[in-house]
Amino acid sequence: MTKQATAQKSNVAEISAGKPKRIEEHIIEVVSDSGEGAQKCGQTFGTVSGKMGNGVWTVEIIPAEIQPPARSKEGASGVRIRLGHKYVTNMGDEADLVVALNEQVLYNRIENRAFREGTVVLLENKWAEDPQPQIREDYAKAVADFKERGLIIHELPLEKECLKIVKNARKGKNMFVLGMLCRIYSRDTQRALDEIAKAFARKGEAVIKPNHDLFKAGYQYAVDNLEYHYEVLPEKEGVQKPTIVTNGNTAIGLGVLASGMDCLAMYPITPATSASHYLADVFHQTGGFMHQAEDEIAAAAYAVGSSFSGKTAVTITSGPGMALKTEILGLAVMCEVPLVVVNVQRGGPSTGQPTKIEQGDLLSALYSMPGDAPKIIMAPATISECFHFVVTARKLAEAFRTPVIILTDANLATGVQPYDRPEPQAEWLASPIDQSEWDKNVPAYEWDEETGISPRPIPGQKGGEYVLTGLAHTKRSKVAYDSMSNQIGCNMRSRKMAAVAATLQKPKIHGDDEGDILVVSWGSTLGAVEEAVDRMRADGHKVSNVHLRFLHPFEKDLKEIFSKFKKVMTVELNYSDEPDMPLINDSTRRYAQLATILRNQFVMDIDCWSIVQAAPLQPGVICKAVLGRLEKLN
Amino acid sequence: MFGLKADWSLDVQDRYFTIEDYEGAQPRWCTGCGDHGVLTAVQKVCREAQLSPEKIVNVSGIGCSSRLPHYMKTYGFHGLHGRALPFASGIKARRPDLDVWVSTGDGDCFSIGGCHWIHALRYNVDMTVLVFDNAIYGLTKKQTSPTSPPDLKTNTHPTGAFLPAMNPLTITLGVTNVSFVAQVVDWNPLLVYETIKKAHAHRGTSFVRIIQRCPVFVEDVHKEMSSDPSQILLLKHENGIPTNEAVEKIYPNQLVHDPSDWNGAMAIARDTGKVPCGLLYHDPDAPVYDDWSNVGLGMSDEDKLAGVNKALDSFSI
C-alpha cells in the first residue's frame, strides 16, 4: 500500500456521521511559534479533561530561546496532551492529531519522532497567500513533503476565522483551536468556558468575552467543517477524590512548603528555576524565605549555613549548577550538615541542552566530590512523587544528618498530570529548632558505632559550642592531626548509608518475578517503561521491570530480584556505548550510569540500553530496544 | 552583670563572662603574627558587650586567619576557601538572635571569594567582617596575593609580582549599599580594639580591613609602615573610631573625616601615599538584608498547614 493510500484509508475510516467515534486514547499536539498561546490552549484542554475524569499527561514543547525566529524548526513551542480512557503515565509514542499554526515548526516534531504515517495535521493555511513569495513557496513545499511522509494534512483558514471576531488573531487563535479540539474530542464545553474565565479572571470581562467567542467559533467551525469527532470516555465520570494538577517543578515547590523547610537558596538555571519561581510566589504562606544568591556556589553555601544554624534548608538547581555546588556538598557531607538538594537534570555535558531531558547526573551526584563523600540520592518517578520525596528527603536529611540529593529531570519538571491531592500533616513539618542546654560531655559528633548517626548541636544551645570544620576532625570537631580520626570519620559517614539502607523496602516488580529480561529503570521513565513492558508481556514475552527510587543507598534485595532473570538490563536517558559500535568490546564499552553502579555493586553482568536524544522515552522505542536484546538472548 | 533595659526595669543577669569564656584552643599562629592581637581584641569586644558565647558564630574561610574560630570558645564554622561570606549570610538568614563574625584573608576574600565579597557588601547582612590582609598567601607558603605589592618576590612570582596591588578599599566603597568601611593596622592594639568594637555595634555588614604583619614570609612589606608612624593617616571624627591622646601622639598625620561623606572616603581610599586608619564610611540606614530574610519566623504549625493547603487548593480540579 502506498503512503497516499494509507492516508486515504484512515481518512475514510475516521469520518463520522453525527455520533462521535469512541476511542481508548489519543495523543494530541498543538504547535506554534512561541507567544501564540499554544501552551495555554493545551493546558486548558488538559485541565478540562482531568476534571472530566480522563487520564491526562501534558508535556510542554519549549524552544531554547525566548524569541526564536518565527516560522523556524528551532522555534517550535507548544504542548502535547495524551488523553486517555484510563490513567496515563507518560507522553506515549507518536501523535494522532496535531494542530499547527505554521508548517515549519512541524519539522521540529518530525525530528523528534512525534508523528507517524496517518497522523492528522490541522494546519493554518494563511501562509499559502502570504505576501512574501519565499513563505508561499516554503509552505507549498512543506505541505507536499508532509503528504509524501504520510501525514494527513487539512489546511484550515484559522486566521481568517479568528479575524471575524478579533482584530489581532495572534492573540486569540489558541482559544479558537481549543474550541476545535473540544468539539473533536467531545469535551464538556461548560467546563472549558469556566476554565477560560478563570484564566482571564484578572483581566476582566472585556478579555473573557472575546476569548469565549473565539472558543465557541472554533467549536462551531469544527462541527461544520471537520470530519473528526471522537469520544474518550473517562473510566469514571468526574473527579473521584481530591485531585490536583501540577507539573513536577511546582510539585517540588509544594513539597518544600509541606516539609516545613523555610529557607531556599537558589541561582537561576533552566530547567530548575520554575520551582523557585513558584516558591518565590507562595513561600510566605508557610513563613519561608527564598534567597537568590550571586552564584550557584553561594546558593549552596547559604543553604548550608542556614541548615547549620537551624532547620534543614534546600537548594534547587540543574547539572551545571550541581557542578559548581560540588565543593559545598562535599563540606556538607564531611561536616554532616542536613541539606536537601534538588537537581532537575538536563542534557549535558557542560551547558548541554538546557531545556531537554537527560538522566546524566547520577554518577556525578555520587562521585564528583573529592575523597569519600557518601550521601543519599533519591529519584522520584512521577509528579506526585516529586512532592512526597521532598518531604521524605527533609526527614532523612535531619535523621541521618546528611545531604540528600533529589534527581528529577526536565520531563518531570514540565510534564503536567492530575494526581491525588496530598493531605499535609503536622508531622511532615520540621520541628522548631532545639535551643535547650546541651550536655557539655556530649561531643559534636557523638557517633553511634552501629549506625554512624549522631545528634546535632545547633548554635544557641549552651554547652554545645563547637567549630564545624571541613578539615578531618575528631568527634569533638577538633582539627585532626592524628592518623585514625579521618578513618573513623569516614567509617561513620559511610555507616550511615548502610543504616539508611536498612530502613528501605524491597522494590515492587512490575510483571512476573522471574523471566527472560528484567528492565531496571529510574526517574521519570517509569510510565513509559511500564507501558512498554505491558505491551511486550501482552505479546507473550517474559519481560518485567523494577524501577528504583533510591539510587544511594539501594533498596533491599536487588541481587535476589536480578538473579531470577536470564538477563538484567537498564533503560536510561544518558550515554552508553552500544556493543556493536566501532572499537567497542568488553574492555572499552562504557555503560549507562545506573548500569555502571549496579554492575559495580552486585558484580553481575548487567546490560544497558540508553540514548541522549533530547526527548523523553517513548514506550515503542523501549519495546524495540528490549526486543532487540531479547532476540540475541534466545 | 546587670543593666537597665529599655523599659527601665533592672535586668539581673545570672552569667558574667570573662575573657576565658571566649578562649578556645591555643592559637597555632606563628610567633609575631598579627593575628594574635586581633584575636585578643575580638575576645575583649565580646566580653565588653557580654555576648553569650552560645549565641556567637565565628565563620571563616581557609587560610591562616581563618583558623580564628578554633581559638574562640563559641560556635564556629570553618568552611571553604572563599566562601565564608555566603555561609555567614545563610547562618544569619533565619537566626536574627545570633551574633555572626567573619574572619577572612586577602586571598580568601579578595581573590577566590571576590564575587561573594562584592555581593555580601550589597546584601548588607548584619555581621562583622574582619579581613586579615597580610599581602601574601601564608598557609600555602608564600604565593602572591591580590594585595601583594609589585615586585614582591614570591613562590609564584620568583622574579617579583607583576601587577600593581589591588586596592580593596576603593572596591569596597564602590559597592552599592555598602554600610561600614574601616581600616586599621594590627600593631596598634587600642585602635584595633576600638575599630572592631565600633564595627560590631553597627547593624549591617561591617567591613574592617586589618593590615596585618606576616613576619615569616613578608617581613619587609610592613616593616617601614609599622616603624614609621608618619606613613599612617589617622582619621578623626566624633562619629568615627574613638582615639585617645596616646594614639594621637603616635601618628602625626591626621585628618578630620566625616564617615557619612562617601566622596571624602573615596578620595582617602584612592590616595595610596598614606595608609588611612579609622572609619572611612558609615551609613547606619542602609537597607539590611535580614529585614527580608527574617520575615515569617515563628509562624505556627496551624498557619503553615493552612498555607500549604491554600497552595494545594489552587491546583485542585
- Clarify whether residues A220 and A307 are in a common domain: no
Q: How do B143-144 and B136-137 pair as beta strands?
A: antiparallel
In angstroms, the CA A101 to CA A87 distance is 29
- Clarify whether residues A350 and A317 are in a common domain: yes
Say if residue A559's pLDDT is above 50: yes
Does B87 contact A305 at a Cβ distance shorter than 8 Å? yes
Of A289, A331, A424, the CB nearest to B79: A331
Angle, CA A227 vertex, CA A223 and CA A228 arms, to 5°: 90
The pLDDT score that the predictor gives to residue A13 is: 40
The pLDDT score that the predictor gives to residue B6 is: 59
Closest CA to A60 of A420, A522, A417, A571: A417
Q: Tell me, letter by letter, the H, E, C secondary structure of A267-314.
A: CCCCCCHHHHHHHHHHHHHHCCEEEECCCHHHHHHHHHHHHHHCCCEE
Say if residue A456's pLDDT is above 70: yes
Say if residue B269's pLDDT is above 60: yes
Chain A partners of B311 at a C-beta cutoff of 8 Å?
254, 257, 282, 285
In angstroms, the CA B79 to CA A331 distance is 7
Among A174, A206, A231, residue at a domain's last position: A231
In angstroms, the CA B7 to CA B57 distance is 29
Sign for the pseudo-dihedral over CA of A5, A6, A11, A13: positive
Task: Indicate the pLDDT class of residue B11, thresholds 50, 70 and 90.
Answer: low
Q: How do A415-420 and B2-4 pair as beta strands?
A: unpaired
CATH number reported for the structural domain that contains residue A34 in this entry: 3.40.920.10
Query: Quick count: other Cβ atoms within 10 Å of Cβ A441?
Result: 7
Average pLDDT on B57-61 reads 98
Nearest Cα of chain B lies from the Cα of A5 at a distance, in angstroms, of: 43
Query: Which of B58, B73, B75, B175 to substitute to test the interface with A, most A CBs within 10 Å?
Result: B75
In angstroms, the CA A317 to CA A237 distance is 39
The pLDDT score that the predictor gives to residue A12 is: 38
In angstroms, the CA A158 to CA A225 distance is 12
- Clarify whether residues A12 and A121 are in a common domain: yes
- Residue A163 main-chain phi, psi, to 5 deg: -65, -15
CA nearest to A194 within chain B: B317
- Clarify whether residues A484 and A403 are in a common domain: no
Say if residue A82's pLDDT is above 70: yes
Nearest Cα of chain A lies from the Cα of B80 at a distance, in angstroms, of: 7
Chain A partners of B57 at a C-beta cutoff of 8 Å?
309, 459
Q: Are A270 and A354 in contact (CB under 8 A)?
A: yes
The pLDDT score that the predictor gives to residue A10 is: 42
Say if residue B42's pLDDT is above 50: yes
Does B298 contact A287 at a Cβ distance shorter than 8 Å? yes
Chain B partners of A340 at a C-beta cutoff of 8 Å?
none
The three-class DSSP label of residue B58 is strand
Q: How many Cα atoms within 13 Å fall on the side-chain side of residue A495?
A: 14
CATH number reported for the structural domain that contains residue A420 in this entry: 3.40.50.970
CATH number reported for the structural domain that contains residue A576 in this entry: 3.40.50.920
CA nearest to A47 within chain B: B317
Closest CA to B136 of B119, B154, B124: B154
* Amino acid of residue B233: L
What value of ipTM does the predicted structure carry? Answer: 0.96
Does A418 contact B69 at a Cβ distance shorter than 8 Å? no
Q: How many Cα atoms within 13 Å fall on the side-chain side of residue B140?
A: 14
In angstroms, the CA A367 to CA A323 distance is 11
The pLDDT score that the predictor gives to residue B3 is: 47
CA nearest to A286 within chain B: B304
- Clarify whether residues A95 and A197 are in a common domain: yes
* CATH code for the domain defined by B19-311: 3.40.50.970
Say if residue B1's pLDDT is above 60: no
Considering the entire predicted model, what is its pTM? Answer: 0.94
- Sheet holding A543-548: strands in order across? A509-510, A543-548, A515-522, A565-572, A607-610
Task: Indicate the pLDDT class of residue B5, thresholds 50, 70 and 90.
Answer: low
Q: How do A509-510 and A289-292 pair as beta strands?
A: unpaired
- Tell whether B98 lies on the interface with A, counting CB pairs under 8 A: yes
Does A294 contact B116 at a Cβ distance shorter than 8 Å? yes
The pLDDT score that the predictor gives to residue A240 is: 83
Query: Which of B308, B309, B316 to substitute to test the interface with A, most A CBs within 10 Å?
Result: B308
Average pLDDT, chain B: 95
pLDDT tens digits along A271-281: 999 999 999 99
- Domain with A370, as residue range(s), is 244-428
* Amino acid of residue A314: V
Residue A238 forms part of a structural domain: no
Residue A236 forms part of a structural domain: no
pLDDT tens digits along A365-381: 999 999 999 999 999 99
Does B93 contact A263 at a Cβ distance shorter than 8 Å? yes
Among A194, A209, A231, residue at a domain's last position: A231
Does A263 contact B89 at a Cβ distance shorter than 8 Å? no
- Tell whether B89 lies on the interface with A, counting CB pairs under 8 A: yes
- Clarify whether residues A360 and A265 are in a common domain: yes
Q: How many Cα atoms within 13 Å fall on the side-chain side of residue A148?
A: 6
The pLDDT score that the predictor gives to residue A238 is: 86
pLDDT tens digits along A602-627: 999 999 999 999 889 999 999 999 99
Among A110-114, A520-524, A592-596, B73-77, which stretch is predicted with the lowest mean pLDDT?
Answer: A110-114
Does B307 contact A243 at a Cβ distance shorter than 8 Å? no
- Clarify whether residues A414 and A550 are in a common domain: no
Q: Are A515 and A565 in contact (CB under 8 A)?
A: yes
CA nearest to A284 within chain B: B296
Say if residue A303's pLDDT is above 50: yes
Residue A233 makes CB contacts below 8 A (sequence gap 6+) with A22, A85
DSSP state string for A413-468: HHEEEEEEPP---GGGSPPPPP-SPP-TTS-TT---TTT-------TT-TT---EE
Among A503, A518, A534, residue at a domain's last position: A503
pLDDT tens digits along A389-445: 999 999 999 999 999 999 999 999 988 889 999 999 999 999 999 999 999 999 999
Does A309 contact B98 at a Cβ distance shorter than 8 Å? yes
Q: Where are the alpha helices (DSSP H) in A19-84?
A: 38-52
Average pLDDT, chain A: 94
- Clarify whether residues A442 and A363 are in a common domain: no
- Residue B242 DSSP one-character state: -
The pLDDT score that the predictor gives to residue A634 is: 75
Q: If you search the block for the grid coordinates 507473550, which residue do you land on? A: A540
Residue A30 forms part of a structural domain: yes
DSSP state string for B171-197: HHHHSTT--EEEEEETT-HHHHHHHHH
Nearest Cα of chain B lies from the Cα of A34 at a distance, in angstroms, of: 25
Residue A445 forms part of a structural domain: yes
- Clarify whether residues A364 and A483 are in a common domain: no
- Clarify whether residues A223 and A303 are in a common domain: no
Say if residue A15's pLDDT is above 50: no
Query: Which of A52, A286, A467 to substitute to test the interface with B, most B CBs within 10 Å?
Result: A467
- Clarify whether residues A456 and A393 are in a common domain: no
Say if residue A14's pLDDT is above 70: no
Residue A239 forms part of a structural domain: no
The pLDDT score that the predictor gives to residue B12 is: 59
Alpha-carbon distances of A601 from A253, A404, A462, A554, A604, rounded to whole Å? 33, 20, 44, 9, 8
Q: Are B304 and A286 in contact (CB under 8 A)?
A: yes
Give the number of domains in chain A. Answer: 4
- Tell whether B299 lies on the interface with A, counting CB pairs under 8 A: yes
Burial class (CB in 10 A: 0-12, 13-18, 19+), B20: exposed
- Clarify whether residues A332 and A466 are in a common domain: no
Q: What percent of chain A has pLDDT over 90?
A: 91
Domain range list for chain B:
19-311
CA nearest to A308 within chain B: B91
